[in-house]
Amino acid sequence: AQSVTQLDSQVPVFEEAPVELRCNYSSSVSVYLFWYVQYPNQGLQLLLKYLSGSTLVESINGFEAEFNKSQTSFHLRKPSVHISDTAEYFCAVSSVFSGGYNKLIFGAGTRLAVHP
């Protein structure tokens, strides 16, 4: 069975500093990876996704993630964070079951706290 491990439950960082949120997944033949963000009292919003092609994927708000097959990792990075980036971040892998249907398997989440 596929699984996702987020190595840090909490990451405190000062504003304008760089940040990396770590994610490792269990190996599979085909891997589709996602990062979702959850602001307080809200649902999940897709931040970025890796489906195929370039191993470096970017979001519109400055985040990027790199798919590393040999290390089975999909770490999320941002060179300079803002207070507004404070949120819970979830890494997820898409698991396909019979019939072609899929479900998302999530990590436990990493709480990013940006301090002034």
Partner 1 sequence: DAGVTQSPTHLIKTRGQQVTLRCSPKSGHDTVSWYQQALGQGPQFIFQYYEEEERQRGNFPDRFSGHQFPNYSSELNVNALLLGDSALYLCASSHRTGANTEAFFGQGTRLTVV
Alpha-carbon distances, residue 102 vs 45, 57, 89 (angstroms): 18, 22, 21
Cα–Cα distance measured from residue 63 to residue 95, given in angstroms and rounded to the nearest whole number: 24
Q: Is 115 in the site for partner 1 (CB under 8 A)?
A: no
Question: In the stretch 91-110, what mask flags binding to partner 1 with x, by CB under 8 A?
Answer: -x-xxxx-xxxxxxxxxxx-
Nearer to partner 1 among residue 10 and residue 80 (C-beta):
10
Q: Using the rule CB under 8 A, give the single segment among 12-20, 59-67, 75-83, 90-98 that binds partner 1.
A: 90-98
Applying CB under 8 A, the site for partner 1 has a residue count of 30
Nearest residue to 68 (alpha-carbon basis) of 50, 55, 80: 55
Taking CB under 8 A as the criterion, which residues in 25-44 touch partner 1? 30, 32, 36, 42-44
H-helix or E-strand spanning residue 89: strand 87-96
